[in-house]
Amino acid sequence: MASTKISDFDAAASLSDTALLLLAAEDTSNTKITGANLKTSVLSGTAATATLATTVTASANNTADATVYPTFVDGATGAQGIETDTGLTYNPNSGLLTAAGFSGPLTGNVTGNASGSAGSCTGNAATVTTNANLTGDVTSSGSNATAIASGVIVDDDVNGSAAIATSKLSGALTAVTSNGLGTAAALNTGTGASDLPDTNDIVGTQDMWIPAAAMRPRDNAGCAAIATVAAGTSGRPDFHVLDFANDADDHAQFMVAMPKSWDGGNITFSAYWIGLAATTGVAWGLQVKALGDGEDIDVAYGVAVVTTDDSQGSATEINVSPASLDIACSGAAGDLLFCQIFRDVSDGNDDMAGAARLVGIKINYTTDALNDA
């Protein structure tokens, strides 16, 4: 085969202006290829791979119900290889972008299911709408959202009929409605009634009224005997009172069997009394001693606690003293509580120049059981 030459090439000219002479072995004629011929003939066709491209042609795909894969690269600039991740997908029809997780600040409204731990929330992000789907219970305080511990019953767990779903109950409780709760022992063993407690059966502070008619003057240094005093107009309430003089400490005594629900702890008292037509004061003191089965009655009372009060200026007006400080009892459920009330004329606030008439006292005590069973 004869050799093939390319001649008449002007290295100083551009490719479009340079004439190339091709001498083929089978064709002795001179064939001149111009720049235009080179573009349309010699370089026609499609390249298999574009080595470097700065742009691509995009088309909209808004409705196809298909899984597509968003692309990404390893670097922010420069020549990079296009990559995908089968764990990162998008569906144009639903508009749903799916990934294994998300990290970083979230702005805007969230719809659908949310699970995991919530960090700080700002603005209205701490507000959960009625139909929001959350995994577990969530409560908000300030800018923080906190998961509620298992077994804790919140307001939203109670439906319109005041019933609580059994799925929210654990341990000894098996069902709760709205009437009463049964005994504390039954709740501890899980065998009691399933009702909520009535208001007057709740454990806590209780009180009892001791009228003056239930008291007796002490056998020495006692107050005056019980007396009935008319209010002033016929047919109106009468007072049954014990008079305590102002020249020495007068005393009265009474006893009360404490309920089995009593926790045996401290008590307080308030005195109900009538004074003279003067705005002067009286000091009332109370001492107690709790005794149970087999204990000796010949023992001293405990330390006295005093509360003071001022008359309001009317001889027929009821005065109620402030509640006293705690009076130590060191008792037990069902003890007999011996009590001694007296007027403490040596107290600086006891300056009423006349008898103070005791109508009765109210004792406050604490229970630790729902009833006395």
Helices (H) and strands (E) in the chain, counts: 2, 20
Residue 186 — very low, low, confident or very high, per pLDDT cuts 50/70/90?
very low
- Phi-psi sector, 34: left (phi>0), alpha (psi -120 to 50), beta: beta
Q: Which one is predicted more confidently, 128 or 110? A: 110
Q: What is the pTM of this model?
A: 0.50
Instruction: Report the alpha-carbon distance of residue 51 to residue 90 in Å, rounded.
Output: 28
- Residue 262: exposure state from Cβ atoms within 10 A (0-12, 13-18, ≥19): buried
Give the per-residue pLDDT at 57.
87
pLDDT digits (tens, 9 = 90+) for 241-282: 999 999 999 999 999 999 999 999 999 999 999 998 888 999
pLDDT digits (tens, 9 = 90+) for 195-227: 445 444 567 899 999 999 999 999 999 999 999
Q: Which one is predicted more confidently, 295 or 163? A: 295
Q: Where are the domains of the chain?
A: 5-36, 121-147, 205-366
Average pLDDT over residues 4-10: 46
Give the per-residue pLDDT at 129.
47
Tally of CB atoms within 10 A around 283? 23
pLDDT digits (tens, 9 = 90+) for 69-100: 898 888 888 888 889 989 899 898 988 889 88
pLDDT digits (tens, 9 = 90+) for 342-364: 999 999 999 999 999 999 999 99
Token couple for 2: 């004869």
Does CATH number 2.60.120.260 belong to domain 205-366? yes
Residue 246 amino acid letter: N
Strands, E, within the chain: which ranges? 5-7, 20-23, 31-33, 89-91, 96-98, 113-114, 133-134, 138-141, 144-147, 205-211, 216-217, 227-230, 238-244, 251-257, 268-274, 281-291, 305-310, 318-320, 336-343, 356-366
Note whether 324 and 364 are within 8 A (CB).
Answer: no
Token couple for 356: 């103070």
Instruction: Report the alpha-carbon distance of residue 242 to residue 228 in Å, rounded.
Output: 9
Q: Which one is predicted more confidently, 251 or 183? A: 251
pLDDT digits (tens, 9 = 90+) for 136-157: 555 554 444 555 555 566 655 5
Instruction: Report the alpha-carbon distance of residue 104 to residue 122 in Å, rounded.
Output: 14
Give the per-residue pLDDT at 47.
55
Give the per-residue pLDDT at 331.
94
Closest of 304, 288, 305, 284 to residue 359, by C-alpha = 284
